[in-house]
Each structure stands twice: as structure tokens, then as C-alpha cells.
Chain A
Amino acid sequence: MITDHLIILQIIIPLIAAPFCVFIRNANVTWALATVISWICLAISITLMQQVMVTGEIIYELGGWAAPWGIEYRVDMLNAWVLVIVTSVGAVVTPYAKLSAEKEIDNDRLYIFYAMLLLCETGLLGITVTGDAFNLFVFLEISALSTYVLISMGKDRRGLTAAYRYLIMGTLGATFYITGVGLLYMQTGSLNIADLGKLIPDVADSRTVQAALAFMTVGLCVKLALFPLHMWLPNAYAFAPSVVTVFLAATATKVAVYALVRVIFTIFGGVDILEAVQISDVLIAMAIVAMFGGSAVAIYQTNIKRMLAYSSLAQIGYMILGLSMNSVLGVSAGLVHLFNHAMMKGGLFMVMGCVVYRIGSAKLGDMAGLGKQMPLTMGAFVLGGLSLIGVPLTVGFVSKWALLQAALEKGWWPIAVLIVISSLMAVVYIWRVVEVVYFQAAPAGRVAVKEAPLMMMIPMLTLIGAAYYFGIDGTTTMDIAGRAAESLIGGLK
């Protein structure tokens, strides 16, 4: 039955489609192919989600080789959740990509763009489904290499240096990660994530295993851009073509967070590693610095894509903060924010894509007076911004509620105070944009612009709409995140 192979199809389909794009070479055909593939992936991931909800964990053995010798793919609530996030963003981004990419990327290289987009999605999905620690590294590099290419494809030459710097940082991070995997293999003789989870408790006191944990954590923190390993992110997001930024902001960091969750709660789940070696204090400290540093720097940015990138750093801080609380409420707050942040930040970057499409710039000064000329787009920006602030009825509110509840449940008063103060900083940077966009007249030199085309507008409004739909009804997302968190923390006890 084909439904038995859904897990592998999820990876294989975009992987095979990517080289096809290179053979076809026609921009429109490759775009159509990429769109169809991304929708198929979404359909598969939703089916998987439903299966997991009914039957629980699904295991797929590659080539029929049983774990721990063969590579197995495993999908439980958490994986399915991340799969849905990645594929739904992918499915919304590809239709949006057509016009935006035509504007911002050399038209004779568009087919490479779509090939890379598909490869990147393959890598991200691969990281998510694989149950093998080394296989995870391979997918990490597939997504990373395609990401470097994607970032460098814009017409701004600073995209090239941003991509280069990310390449250096990203490769260091990935190499750190496999060093850690190697050390674990030395000690346990296994690469299977679930198997490692069983074997680690016996050898947890050895220095090899602790070094492995350090290497893996640092490596993944580079990937998810946790302060102070975030240097690559702002420029990469700011100078990449807008559609690439949308895709990366909404998926790449989320998947890296997922990988970190797997390392901490599954591989080291048997020994409650956050308490045992007290990395939770370190992670919390870094998360809080990220929350404040990211928001504070965002306030002073003049390039709005860059501003949103710094805001992402702060939001990543919230996710890591939730995870390091090491409680069901905390972890589910972190996990629900994966999805919620993907919706709102994806939507906001799409708004910026529309702005760049019309006025060719993401600078705040150039956006003056757009409130009148692009009312829907700017309305979407305000709505997305409200979600970043965490106003009720938005997904941002759901995340913040969950996070605060988790902090208060633990009695961590200072942390709760820091969470609300840092989230108020979002008011300032969103407000700056609102002031310029609505209260300043359009600059004299600029030709009057129209609303963004429908093909960009619909995906944008879809994401922003999702940010409100799941804000008004936060039960579905909170329920899934809660169940995923329970299974993770359950592994601890």
C-alpha cells in the first residue's frame, strides 16, 4: 500500500523533483512543478498527522533493515507537527514565489531557484522525519547548502557575503554536530536516536558523552541562531530575496529547534540532561539575552527586513526559554510558538516581499505613505505586528499565555516579568513602522504604487489569517503541542 510509504514519499518526491527542475529549465514550468510538489507534501504531512493522531508513532524502516542497524524514519506527534509547519509554509510560499522571484532574481536562473527551494524543503523534511542521528546531519547539510545558494541569488551583492558568512558558520555548526554524534557512537555503538535514548543513561557520567552533548548543542544553536551564535542570521534574512526570507524565517530555524529538542529530550531524555548538567541555566540565560538583545537591536533598524530578522532572534529566545523550563507546560509553550511564529513572521516577511515588489526597497524611509497606497498590505503588516506584540486573538497571545503560565507554574517570577517586558519592546519597533507608513506623506520622488498583485496577496493574507484563526481558537495547536510535550517529557521519567 502506498500509504505505508508516505513517510519516505514525503522526502523522495521533492528530492526527485529538484533535479527535474534543472532539466526542464523553463521558469514557468518549474514553478508549476514546485507548487504542485509542495502541495503534495502538505497533503502527505497532514495525512501523516492524522495517522499519528489515531495510531500513535509510525516507524518506517529504510530498505527493510531493522534499527538500530538500518536507518529508520519515525514520525510521532512532534515530527508530524513540524512536518505540517514546514509543508504548510512551503505550500503557501511557492505560489507567492512566482512574481516575487521574477522581480528579485535573474530570470535566467529561476529554474535553479525552484530546484534549490525544493531541495531545501527536502532537507528540512528529512531532518524532521529521520530517526538516525547521522542521517540527520546529511539532511542538515542538504538544506544548508541549498539555503546558501538561495540567499546568494538576490540582486543585492551583500547577499553574496551574507551567504558566504552563513556558509562558514553553518558548516562549523554542522561539523560540531557530527563531532558530537561521533563521540556518542564511540561510547554506545549506535546512531539511532531512539536507541541512543535507551543506551545513554548507562554511560551518562562519562566525559565522552558530556562532550558529545556540548558539541551537539552548540552546533544546533548555531543553526537555530541562538544568541550569541546568531551573527549570520540578520544579514542573511535582510539581503536574501524576499521569498527566500519568508521560507527560511518560517521553517529553517524551526526545524533546527526541533533537532535540538530531539537531542535534549530524546537522545538525552533518559537522564534529564537539563537538570543533570545544568545546561538549562545556560540556555535560559542565552534565551533571555536573545529576547532583549534581539528586540532592542530591532528598534534601531532602518531596513525592515533586517528589523524583522532581529525580531526573529528574540522570538527564538522565547522558544528556547520554553524548552529549557523542562516542564510539560514550558515545552508545549516552546513547541506551539514554533507554529505560531512561523505563521506571523512568515506573513510579515511576505508583506515586506510585497513592499519590495512594488517600491523596490525595504528601507523604512522609503515606505512612507504606503498606508494609503497599499492599504491591504500595510493592514496585514499591522495585524501581523499585533501578533508579534501578543495582543489577544492572535497566535502571539496564545504563545505568550502558554509561556507565562509555564513560568508562573514554576514560580519563576523574574522570568515572567522579563517575558512581558521584552514583548512590550515589540510595540516600539512595530509602532515605528506604523508611524512612518500611516502618518508620513509619500516621498516626492516616488511614483504612486498600487496594491501588491493578487498572487502575492492571497498567500500573505492566508498566513496572517492563520495567525488570527489559530489565535482565536488556540485549542487545536495547544492540544497538539501539549501531547508532543507530554510524550517528550514522558520519556524523561
Chain B
Amino acid sequence: MTPEQIIPWSIGLPLLGAFGIWITGKSPNLRETVTLITAAIVFILVASLFDNVSAGERPSWVFGEMLPGLSISFVVEPLGMVFAGIASFLWIITTVYTVGYMRGHHEQNQTRFYICFAVAISSALGIAFAGNMLTLFVFYEILTISTFPLVTHSGTPEAKRAGRIYLGILIGTSIALQLVAIIWTYTLTGTLDFTPGGILEGKVAPVMVSVLLALYIFGIGKAALMPFHRWLPAAMVAPTPVSALLHAVAVVKAGVFTVLKVTVYIFGIDLLQATDAGLWIAYMAATTILLASLVAMKKDNLKARLAYSTISQLSYIILGAMMASSLGILGGAMHIVMHAFGKITLFFCAGAIMVACHKTEISQMNGLGRKMPITFICFLIASLSIIGLPPFGGVWSKWYLALAAADTGQVIFVAVLMISSLLNVAYLIPIVVRAFYNDPDPETHDDHNDQDDHGHVAVATHHPSDAGGANQWKIGNLREAPIACVGALAFTAMGCFVLFFYADRIQTFLLPILEGTNG
């Protein structure tokens, strides 16, 4: 296949897969095989584009004209390549994990779950490869809608309320702010194509740049910049694989990816540098980093804490973009990768704990590390990567972001990054410490009396076979989650480590996105 043909196939294949899942829905084994095979092929397709793109090619494909003069078109460039690579790669891992999780957790409506998941991945790839802002917006909205049934999966009143917040904020911001920004851009420039160096230079009055930028950045609700962050914690009612892949990787990364795209290809770094339009949004991002970390410290529910941690980490990327320097953009783009591996591991661990021991609150996790050592060691590794310590991938992106902050003379941002790292330590490490060093609570030997009275997470259907059935993998005294779950989370934790050594390759690969800029 030529690179041009790969684009429609990689976006279309998950949809075909969704259809296959629907047909084979009656037989879980067949259904999950279809998902896994689809995920594998999609990843191979996406990966096969890698060499072309790093050789400087920009494969493109046009689906058709949607509005007069505006087409649905796709262009693969390094930034999108990286995002697509992560999304499709982690889809495979997540599918493996999901099989263990969903069966161990006895979830309902699994076929619908897998279908929506596949559609969500397809739209994430659409976002990654989008050649213009209209295409990106179209897939952005499909992503919102296709993940909605996943958020409300359990159908409880809690899920219903979360669904309202989710739709309200994501659809609301995208239509009320982002769409207006897009159409405004179009009336100003007559094009929406992503062009290296930006399209707005000289087309818009300097004072209006910051208004337009604000419309874009706040309109991209998926980036969860405060005050439009509430949907992310709300979305945590979804089953954990959804939180892991979508609300730590695909959906939120689609948000910050869009922020980067807009910064680099619509505005252009030079324009932002010249007008300083991004500065006040950078301050908003810095505030979000700190506030979200502080909120995370107060959350006892593990997934809620991770959600606020995600909000904080996403603002690193926004901060990187808004500082309008090459290093910031690079750091932001790399943080997409590094954070993805770290955060998905953390969520996998949270899910594993929930499946194996039905624990959702951190205060209940005393001594749990002795029963689930692999899970908690991986949790530690991922935490260290998120905090930004060597030898894990997270250190590099933070390094670049800090360099960018120092470079642009914004010492305050350097301070924010440092303080935030300390806060990361404060809200992640105690979990591990508690799990390994505290003695188990006496009543935790019984797996069944810990109803989740906080209502943060869909209550597991307690099933007689829980006591030693599909939800646990026993070796001696250990009570790990099913092997599919543990394998997946160990793998992504390894990824955090491996990325430490490959950061320079990612950086070289990403460099071409800064073409056409002086800074």
C-alpha cells in the first residue's frame, strides 16, 4: 500500500472492526479476537508511515469536499504521526488489559463498549491525521460523542450526571468557542489548512490575536484547562480501561494535540512571540498545574486523584505551547508521549486494584502492596516518570519545558514546574508507601465488605465467583489482578523506562514541525 492509501485504511479499519465486533458480539472470545486483530493491524499500518514521515514525506489524502472550498482532508506530519502512533499502540495494550478487566469485573453491555472504543480510536486517528482545522473539528466532535456511551456505561444516576457534565462542557466549549474561532479564522484567511509557520500572520490585528487564541484554547475543552476541566473527573465513572486509554491518552491528548496544532500551524510561533498573545493563557495553564495538583492531594478516590493529576499534566503541554518557543513546543509534544505511558500505567494499576481487591479509595490500600507487588512496583515506576526523575521518560519532557521557560525569561514558570514536581511526589508516592509499609487493615481480608460509598466509581457487581474466579490471579499469597491486566500494566511501565533512552529520537523526529519559524 502506498502511504496515501494507508491513511484512509488506518482511519477506516477501526470502523470495520467495530462492525466486526457488532457481528461477533454473541461470542466474547471471537469479539475480543476481532478487536485485538484490528488493533494490531491498525498499529502496523500507522507504524509503516513512520519511515516516510521521518524521511520528510507528507502523505496526504482527500476524502471529499464538505462545504464549498473546504474539504475533509488528511496530511500526515510528525506531530500527528506521534499522536497516532501512541493511540494505536496503546489501543493494543489496552485491549489486552480490557479483556482481563471487563471479564474480571463482570461488566454489562461489553459489545457496545468495544464498538464505541473502536469508533473512538478511529476518530482519534482522524484527529491525528487531519489536514485542516475543519477535519480536525469533525473528528473532535465524533470523539466526544462516541466516548459518551462509554462514560455513561453503567447507567447509574451517577453516570447520568457525569454524562451531563461531560457532554455539556465538551460540546458546549467546542461549539460556543472553538467553532466560532474556526469560522472566524476562515473569514479572515480563506483557508483552514495546517500550514507550517501558520496562516494568520498579517491577517489579524495584534490585539485580536489573543482573543482568537483564547477562543481556540478554551474552546478545546478536551485539553481540560481550568475552568473547563470538570468533565475529566466526572468521566471517571467509566470503566477503568476507558479512563486509562481515553481519559489519560486518546481524548485528553487529542485536546492538547489540537492545542499544539493550532499553535504551530494556525497561529505560528512567530506570530505568538511577536504579540505575546499566549502569555496570559500560559499563566492560566500555570495556575491550573498548581491548583489541580493541590486538588489531587485531597482526593481519596484513586481514579479521581489520577484525574486531577492528568488535568495538571495536560496544562504542562498547554504551557509549553503558549510560551511560544521551539523548546516549549518540543517539550509539550514529547510530554504527550511521556505522560501517556506514565498515566496509562497508573490507571491500569488503579483498575487492577479494583478488579482484584475491590478497592477504590486510597485510605483502604494499607498493605495492599504485599498482596499485589507487581502492580504497586509498576505504580511506583510510572509515578517516578510522571514526577520526572531519571531513568524514566518523563524527565526529558520536563527538562525541555523548563529549558523553554528559562529561555523565554519566564522564571516564574520554572518555579511552577519545580513546585509541581514536588506536589507530584506528594500525591503519588504516599500511595506506594502506604501499600508497602503500612500494615493491612484487619477487615480487608474480606474482599466483599468495601462498598464504594463515595459513589465515584461504578459499583462492581459482586458475584459469587469473585472469591477466586476470573478477577484474581493467585501465586502463593499474592492476589494479583488477571494476568491480562498485570501483563499490560507491566508492559507500559517498561515503556516509561525504555522511553528514557529514546527521547532524542523522538525529538529529532519532531523537529520538522518547527519549519517556517524563526524562533
List residues of A whose CB falls within 8 A of some B CB.
386, 389-393, 398, 400-402, 404-405, 408-409, 416-417, 420-421, 423-424, 427, 431, 435, 438-439, 472-475, 478-479, 482
Contact A475 B67 (CB under 8 A): yes
Which of B134-142, B250-258, B324-332, B401-409 is found at the contact surface with chain A?
Answer: B134-142
Least Cβ distance of B172 to chain A in Å?
A: 6
Point out the residues of chain A lying under 8 angstroms from B180, CB to CB: 404, 408, 416-417, 420
Q: Does B164 contact A (CB under 8 A)?
A: yes
Q: Are A439 and B160 in contact (CB under 8 A)?
A: yes
Contacts A427-B168, A475-B66, A482-B68: A391 and B160 contacting too (C-beta < 8 A)? Answer: no
- Mask, B443-471, CB within 8 Å of A = 1, is 00000000000000000000000000000
Q: Mark B61-96, 1 if CB is under 8 A from A, else 0.
A: 000111110001000000000000000000000000
B191 → chain A closest CB, angstroms? 14
For this complex, 25 residue pairs linking A to B, each with C-beta atoms less than 8 Å apart, are A386-B145, A389-B175, A391-B145, A392-B141, A393-B141, A393-B142, A398-B67, A401-B183, A405-B186, A408-B187, A416-B183, A417-B180, A420-B175, A420-B179, A420-B180, A421-B176, A423-B175, A424-B176, A427-B167, A427-B168, A427-B171, A435-B160, A474-B67, A475-B67, A479-B68
Closest CB-CB distance, B477 to chain A, in whole Å? 42
The answer to whether B66 and A474 have CB atoms under 8 Å apart is yes
Taking a contact as CB atoms under 8 Å apart, the answer to whether A390 and B175 are in contact is yes
Contact check, B183 vs A408: say whether CB atoms are below 8 A apart.
Answer: yes
Q: Which residues of B contact A404 (CB under 8 A)?
A: 179-180, 183
B residues within 8 A CB of A472?
64, 66, 72
Q: How far is the CA of A392 from the CA of B127 in the complex (A)?
A: 14
Does residue B152 face the partner (Cβ distance < 8 Å to A)? yes
Given A472-B66, A475-B66, 16 more A-B residue pairs with CB atoms under 8 Å apart are: A390-B175, A391-B145, A392-B137, A393-B141, A398-B67, A401-B179, A402-B67, A404-B180, A405-B187, A408-B187, A417-B180, A420-B180, A424-B172, A475-B65, A475-B68, A478-B67
The verdict on A405 contacting B183 (CB below 8 Å), with A391-B145, A439-B152 known, is yes
Q: Does A427 lie within 8 Å of B183, measured CB to CB?
A: no
Complex interface residues of chain B between 147 and 166 (CB less than 8 A to chain A)? 152, 155, 160, 164
A421 CA to B187 CA, complexed, in Å: 20
A431 touches B164 (CB 8 A): yes
CA distance A408 to B182 in the complex (A): 11
Closest to B173 in A: A424
Which residue of A has the minimal Cβ distance to B152? A439
**CB nearest neighbor in A for B171:** A427
Is there an interface contact between A420 and B167, defined as CB atoms closer than 8 Å? Answer: no
- Give the interface centre of A392, A423, A435 by most chain B CB atoms within 10 Å: A392
The smallest beta-carbon distance between A32 and chain B, in angstroms, is 37
What residues of chain A lie closer than 8 Å to B22, measured between beta carbons?
none
In the bound complex, residues from chain B placing their C-beta under 8 Å from that of A439 are: 152, 155, 160
**Known: A420-B175, A424-B171, A475-B67. Is A408-B142 also a contact (CB below 8 A)?**
no
Asked if B184 is at the interface of the complex by the 8 Å CB criterion, the answer is: yes
* Distance between Cα atoms of A93 and B129 in the complex (Å): 41
Binary interface encoding of chain B residues 119-138 relative to chain A, with 1 for a CB under 8 A from any of its CBs, else 0: 00000000000000000011
- Shortest C-beta distance, B216 to chain A (Å), equals 14
Q: In the bound complex, what is the Cα–Cα distance between A331 and B220 (angstroms)?
A: 30
Chain A residue contacts of B176, Cβ below 8 A:
417, 420-421, 424
A402 nearest CB across to chain B (Å): 8
A478 and B68 in contact, given A421-B176, A427-B168, A439-B155 (Cβ under 8 angstroms): yes
Ranked 6 nearest A-B pairs via Cβ: A392-B138, A420-B176, A404-B183, A408-B187, A475-B65, A474-B67
Can you name the residue of chain A whose Cβ is closest to the Cβ of B176? A420
